[in-house]
């Protein structure tokens, strides 16, 4: 069986902890590789080496660093098919979706080519008598990223790109469930000209994460994953004096107003609810039709569309709408929640529990599920299911629908489908959620805007990618200067205006 490695100082490095995790092919259920789980000592050694490499990289001019990003973009395009295949094999998502995963990461690297502009400081000439004042953005030193299984290319690239372009060294601790693509990304950065040691990929589990949180050299930690782990990492990282941003789970509502184009809404819901088997933090997991007539019209359109969905392995090519979920445990958790929905009184309109695929009986496939008459008290409404399960909560009015999205503990994304500009505008202004779609079901912002949720979906005050990423991975230094030829004032004992 293949034994994966870490990527330390520019080469694949075997783990020495003696601990490993199995990496599955979710389509077949077979273990296809094992990945080493780093010890604290391995993590600390990787950080020490990264800190040494960062000194020269941080002093490299930003345009040269940007040229490395330019080359990374070229190489990601060159290797797109290879990356997508490796990604689908470990994650289970379809090949076109895997290419989208790489593409949305690549777009952030494209944005990072603009690092020289984004890192420019500010200058005030003659701020006082003979005094100039300027601010500069300097790298933090060593930063770390801890990433989830569901976007093994995109999210590592969202973290690595801005951190490295800003002049930091970076420790990536990817998900132990699909670690191959992050290792391939490290090879690409090296080929693009990134000096060895500046990017280290350390595979691992809680032990490696705790070592990151406790390592005094690491200045900043960016995390993406589930909310309980986000809360843990945020509090332990902050307690250790680090700059921390954590992005957590979601329960994204889509409100369907009576005036919406019902076919458009149904098509959007099917893609946003079941794409990637629902394993997206921006998936729509709750449909909120306003009024019973809207709900009936929607359900009537959803059922045939959902029953037609093709579920299968990525190797079946374009014939597949979504693949298996990532592990047997994820599958069990989804089915347990589906059963709880039935027990708690929701109406299961499309039942995917007995789904089985000939030749892939041991794969982690879950058929599509649609619930109607879900209420806010039910577990299927309160909890993130992270599977192909769409819950319908019927609302009597727009205000009730808005209140549902407002009252839910998560606030990552939400959407409204309507033809009425006033309602859409009111929704966008009032809802307490970070990313809003108006007749757009998955409103993931592009690389030059920022990505982040509200409430229990994000911890910390800056978002991912866009200008916020460069703020997160740099610190500002402000210099006030006067040269000897400047105006002499004698000793000053009081604070006063500079005039
Ligand atoms: P997860 O929280 O299980 O794991 C995320 C990372 O944390 C992994 O690297 C993992 O090794 C590490 N980890 C897991 N358990 C840990 C522990 N006890 N202590 C320390 N570290 C630990 O998440 P996942 O299952 O990989 O990913 C799915 C979750 O990520 C979903 O909740 C999804 O909504 C969320 N997500 C959020 C966003 C966002 O931007 N808000 C984006 C993608 C995914």
What pLDDT is stored for residue 486 in this prediction?
63
Q: Reading across the β-sheet that carries 11-13, which strands appear in turn?
A: 11-13, 6-8, 199-201, 169-173, 142-146, 218-224, 243-247, 458-459
Task: Name the burial class of residue 479, with classes exposed (0-12), middle (13-18) and buried (19+) by CB atoms within 10 angstroms of its CB.
Answer: exposed
- Rounded to 5°, angle at Cα 331 from 329 and 332: 65
Q: 221: CA distance to ligand 1 center in Å?
A: 14
Question: Hey, is 447 helix, strand or coil?
Answer: coil
CB distance 146 to ligand 1 below 6 Å: yes
Q: Could you write out the DSSP letters of every residue in 252-302?
A: EEEEE-TTS-HHHHHHHHHHHHHGGGG--TT-EEEEEEBSHHHHHHHHHHH
Q: How crowded is residue 428: how many other Cβ atoms within 10 Å of its Cβ?
A: 14
What pLDDT is stored for residue 485 in this prediction?
75
Q: Are 290 and 257 in contact (CB under 8 A)?
A: yes
Q: 175: CA distance to ligand 1 center in Å?
A: 8
What pLDDT is stored for residue 499 in this prediction?
66
The continuous run of DSSP H or E covering 102 comes out as helix 95-112
Kindly list the domain boundaries of the chain, sorted by start residue.
2-248+457-480, 252-438
Atom in ligand 1 nearest the alpha carbon of residue 147? 9
Q: Which two tokens stand for residue 442?
A: 């998955």
Question: Hey, is 110 helix, strand or coil?
Answer: helix
Q: Reading across the β-sheet that carries 20-25, which strands appear in turn?
A: 2-3, 30-36, 20-25
Q: Which of 19, 105, 222, 226 to mutate to test the pocket of ligand 1 (most atoms within 8 A of CB)?
A: 226
What is the separation of C-alpha 165 from the centre of its chain, rounded to a whole number of angstroms?
19
Q: Residue 325: which of 93, 15, 158 has the closest Cα? A: 93
In this structure, the residue with its CA closest to atom 35 of ligand 1 is 225
CB burial of 345-371 (b: ≥16 within 10 Å; e: otherwise) equals ebebbbebeeeeeeebeebbbbbbbbb
Q: How crowded is residue 398: how many other Cβ atoms within 10 Å of its Cβ?
A: 20
Residue spans of alpha helices (H) in 308-434: 328-343, 379-382, 398-407, 421-430
In this structure, the residue with its CA closest to atom 34 of ligand 1 is 249
In this structure, the residue with its CA closest to atom 38 of ligand 1 is 281
What pLDDT is stored for residue 490 in this prediction?
77
Q: Which fold, 252-438?
A: Aldehyde Dehydrogenase; Chain A, domain 2 (3.40.309)
DSSP state of 490: -
Q: Is 281 among the residues known to form the active site?
A: yes
Q: How crowded is residue 2: how many other Cβ atoms within 10 Å of its Cβ?
A: 10
Determine the Cα–Cα distance for residues 206 and 37; give it in Å rounded to an integer.
9
User: Is there a common fold for 2-248+457-480 and 252-438?
Assistant: no
Q: Residue 221: which of 158, 150, 170, 162 has the closest Cα? A: 170
Atom in ligand 1 nearest the alpha carbon of residue 227? 32
Residues linked to residue 332 through DSSP beta bridges, in sequence order: none
Q: Residue 230: which of 157, 303, 281 has the closest Cα? A: 281
CB distance 209 to ligand 1 below 6 Å: yes
| Sequential pLDDT tens for the chain (499 residues) | 899 999 999 999 999 999 999 999 999 999 999 999 999 999 999 999 999 999 999 999 999 999 999 999 999 999 999 999 999 999 999 999 999 999 999 999 999 999 999 999 999 999 998 899 999 999 999 999 999 999 999 999 999 999 999 999 999 999 999 999 999 999 999 999 999 999 999 999 999 999 999 999 999 999 999 999 999 999 999 999 999 999 999 999 999 999 999 999 999 999 999 999 999 999 999 999 999 999 999 999 999 999 999 999 999 987 899 999 999 999 999 999 999 999 999 999 999 999 999 999 999 999 999 999 999 999 999 999 999 999 999 999 999 999 999 999 999 999 999 999 999 999 999 999 999 999 999 999 999 999 999 999 999 999 999 999 999 999 999 999 998 876 667 787 888 777 6
Task: Name the burial class of residue 272, with classes exposed (0-12), middle (13-18) and buried (19+) by CB atoms within 10 angstroms of its CB.
Answer: buried
Determine the Cα–Cα distance for residues 387 and 57; give it in Å rounded to an integer.
42
Q: 204: CA distance to ligand 1 center in Å?
A: 13
Q: Residue 334: which of 391, 412, 373 has the closest Cα? A: 391
CATH number for the domain whose boundaries are 2-248+457-480: 3.40.605.10
Question: Hey, is 15 helix, strand or coil?
Answer: coil
Q: Residue 470: which of 170, 113, 166 has the closest Cα? A: 166
């Amino acid at each position: 069986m293949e034994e994966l490695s870490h990527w330390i100082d520019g080469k694949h490095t075997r783990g020495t902890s003696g601990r490993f995790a199995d990496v599955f092919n979710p389509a077949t259920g077979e273990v296809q590789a094992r990945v080493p789980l780093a010890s604290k000592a391995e993590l600390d050694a990787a950080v020490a080496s990264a800190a040494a490499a960062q000194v020269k990289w941080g002093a490299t001019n930003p345009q040269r660093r940007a040229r490395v990003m330019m080359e990374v973009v070229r190489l990601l395009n060159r290797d797109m098919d290879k990356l997508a295949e490796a990604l689908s094999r470990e994650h289970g998502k379809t090949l076109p979706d895997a290419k989208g995963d790489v593409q949305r990461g690549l777009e952030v690297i494209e944005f990072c080519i603009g690092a020289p502009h984004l890192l420019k400081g500010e200058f005030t000439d003659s701020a006082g008598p003979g005094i100039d004042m300027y601010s500069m953005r300097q790298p933090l030193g060593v930063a770390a990223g801890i990433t989830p299984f569901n976007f093994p290319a995109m999210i590592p690239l969202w973290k690595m790109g801005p951190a490295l372009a800003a002049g930091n060294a970076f420790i990536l601790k990817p998900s132990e469930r699909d670690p191959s693509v992050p290792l391939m990304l490290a090879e690409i950065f090296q080929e693009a000209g990134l000096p060895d040691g500046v990017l280290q990929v350390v595979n691992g589990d809680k032990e490696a994460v705790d070592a990151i949180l406790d390592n005094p050299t690491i200045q900043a930690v960016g995390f993406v994953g589930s909310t309980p782990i986000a809360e843990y990492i945020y509090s332990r990282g902050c307690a250790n004096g680090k700059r921390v941003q954590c992005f957590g789970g979601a329960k994204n509502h889509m409100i369907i107003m009576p005036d919406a184009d019902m076919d458009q809404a149904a098509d959007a819901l099917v893609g946003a609810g079941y794409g990637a088997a629902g394993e997206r933090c921006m998936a729509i997991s709750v449909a909120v039709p306003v009024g019973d007539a809207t709900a009936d019209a929607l359900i009537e359109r959803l059922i045939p569309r959902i029953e037609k969905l093709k579920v299968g392995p990525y190797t079946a090519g374009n014939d597949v709408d979504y693949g298996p979920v990532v592990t047997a445990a994820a599958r069990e958790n989804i089915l347990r929640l589906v059963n709880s929905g039935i027990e708690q009184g929701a109406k299961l309109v499309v039942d995917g529990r007995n789904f089985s695929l000939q030749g892939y009986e041991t794969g982690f496939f879950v058929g599509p599920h649609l619930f109607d008459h879900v209420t806010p008290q039910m577990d299927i409404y309160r909890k993130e299911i992270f599977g192909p399960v769409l819950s319908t909560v019927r609302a009597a009015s727009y205000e009730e629908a808005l209140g549902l999205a407002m009252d839910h503990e998560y606030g990552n994304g939400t959407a409204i489908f309507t033809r009425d500009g006033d309602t859409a505008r009111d929704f966008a202004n009032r809802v307490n959620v970070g990313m809003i779609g108006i007749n757009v079901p998955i409103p993931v912002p592009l690389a030059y805007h920022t990505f982040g949720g509200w409430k229990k979906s994000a911890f910390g005050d800056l978002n991912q990618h866009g200008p916020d990423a460069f703020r997160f991975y740099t610190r500002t230094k402000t210099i006030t200067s006067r040269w000897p030829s400047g105006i002499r004032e004698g000793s000053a004992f009081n604070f006063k205006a500079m005039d």
